[in-house]
């Protein structure tokens, strides 16, 4: 969600020249670790803090306060040459865990499947593991197949999907560029469907099955400039930016 944090900070600073906000990327784990270690005022995260992280923060004398600031859908995307356009959650899970290794097994051409994923420090990676590969079952211990390519950036995934007809990738809906919007996978909860293509509308009406909340954490109840900034984040102006970047605004 670094795109979003950057866009917010930029817009806010242009209206408030006396405030300076610096945004650093690196994944939710990085942001939360920085908050826990006391090096930042606000952490943006695409996953909720774990109980462990909360405990570590408390041990450092920091009480994180959670704000839900936007919603996000994880889109699964393939190369435009690939004829496959719909998969069930179970099929996506089987592809990523290594049970399905050829596109012909899910109705495509006889090509090997190349699995692309974000690095393990990405909140998107953890969310995808829990909600898709393990189908939301906390007792399930299925892992990513070892030959899943772990790419350090969204650009890496988009670029490989764009040029490699064997590839399947996932990323936040906000990161999918216009030229790949046509090859998004419609996801079905089970084989009987319905298969739903991710969009702002389908995320908001909860019909798209792989969507989540995006959070900001402050170190303690926000005061002063940070309080004003957090209030602005939930304003109509900031939420328009959310929609412009392909994320889904939180309902008022």
Partner 1 sequence: MNKSPNWRETIITAVIRTCGYSAVVFVILIFFFLLREGVPALAEVKLGDLLTTRWYPIENHFGILPLLTGSLVVTLGAMLIAIPFGIGTAVFLAEIAPRWLREILKPLVELLGGLPSVVLGFLGILLLSPFLRVFLNLPTGLTALAGALLLGGIAVPTTVSIAEDALDSVPQSYREGALALGATKWQTIWRVTLPAARSGVLTALMLGIGRTIGETMAVMMVTGNAPVMADKLTSILSPVRTMTATIAAEMGEVANGSTHYHVLFFIGLVLFLISLVVNILASTVIFRSRKRAERVLS
CA distance 166 to 111: 6
Report, in Å, the least distance between residue 41 CB and partner 1.
18
Q: Which of 39, 104, 120, 235 binds partner 1 (CB under 8 A)?
A: 120
123 forms beta bridges with none
Q: Single out the residue of 82, 251, 92, 71 nearest to residue 172, CA to CA.
A: 71
CA distance 78 to 184: 7
Q: Which of 6, 11, 21, 26 binds partner 1 (CB under 8 A)?
A: 26
Q: Which of 45, 95, 126, 196 binds partner 1 (CB under 8 A)?
A: 126
Q: Which of 33, 54, 70, 73 binds partner 1 (CB under 8 A)?
A: 33
Residue 98 has what DSSP assignment?
A: T
Mind giving me the DSSP string for 208-219?
SSSEEEEEEEEE
Report, in Å, the least distance between residue 109 CB and partner 1.
13
Q: Which of 10, 19, 37, 243 binds partner 1 (CB under 8 A)?
A: 37
Q: Which of 15, 112, 178, 224 binds partner 1 (CB under 8 A)?
A: 112
Only one residue has tokens 């242009």, namely 14
Residue 114 binds partner 1 (CB under 8 A): yes
Report, in Å, the least distance between residue 31 CB and partner 1.
9
Report, in Å, the least distance between residue 54 CB and partner 1.
12
87 forms beta bridges with 187
Stretch that binds partner 1, among 38-46, 120-128, 203-211, 212-220 (CB under 8 A): 120-128
51: exposed, middle or buried (C-beta count within 10 Å: 0-12, 13-18, 19+)? exposed
Report, in Å, the least distance between residue 166 CB and partner 1.
5
205: exposed, middle or buried (C-beta count within 10 Å: 0-12, 13-18, 19+)? exposed
Site string for partner 1, 147-186 (x = CB under 8 A): xxxxxx---x--xx--xx-xx-------------------
Q: Which of 105, 144, 186, 226 binds partner 1 (CB under 8 A)?
A: 144
Element (H, E) at 53: helix 51-59
Mind giving me the DSSP string for 150-205?
EESSHHHHHHHHHH-TTEEEEEEGGG--GGGGGGBPEEESSTT--EE---HHHHHT
Q: Single out the residue of 61, 112, 104 nearest to residue 83, CA to CA.
A: 104
Residue 224 binds partner 1 (CB under 8 A): no
Residue 66 or 156: the one with the smaller Cβ distance to partner 1 is 156
Residue 167 or 185: the one with the smaller Cβ distance to partner 1 is 167
Q: Contact residues for partner 1 (CB under 8 A)?
A: 26-27, 29-30, 33, 36-37, 53, 56, 111-114, 119-121, 126, 141, 143-144, 146-152, 156, 159-160, 163-164, 166-167
């Amino acid at each position: 969600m670094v795109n979003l944090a950057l866009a917010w900070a930029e817009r806010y600073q242009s209206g408030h020249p006396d405030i300076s906000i610096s945004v650093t990327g690196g994944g939710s784990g990085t942001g939360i670790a920085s908050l826990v270690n006391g090096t930042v005022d606000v952490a943006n995260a695409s996953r909720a803090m774990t109980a462990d992280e909360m405990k570590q923060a408390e041990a450092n004398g920091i009480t994180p306060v959670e704000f839900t600031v936007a919603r996000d859908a994880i889109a699964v995307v393939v190369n435009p040459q690939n004829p496959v356009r719909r998969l069930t959650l179970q099929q996506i899970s089987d592809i990523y865990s290594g049970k399905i290794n050829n596109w012909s097994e899910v109705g495509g051409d006889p090509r090997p499947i190349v699995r692309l994923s974000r690095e393990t420090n990405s909140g998107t990676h953890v969310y995808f593991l829990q909600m898709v590969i393990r189908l939301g079952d906390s007792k399930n211990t299925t892992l990513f197949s070892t030959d899943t390519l772990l790419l350090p950036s969204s650009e890496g995934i988009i670029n490989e999907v764009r040029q490699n007809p064997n590839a399947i990738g996932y990323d936040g809906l906000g990161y999918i560029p216009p030229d790949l919007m046509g090859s998004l996978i419609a996801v079905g909860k089970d084989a009987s469907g319905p298969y739903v293509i991710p969009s702002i509308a389908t995320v908001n009406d909860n019909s798209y099955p792989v969507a989540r909340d995006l959070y900001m954490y402050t170190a303690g109840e926000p005061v002063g400039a940070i309080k004003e900034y957090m209030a602005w984040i939930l304003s109509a102006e900031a939420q328009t930016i959310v929609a412009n970047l392909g994320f889904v605004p939180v309902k008022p």
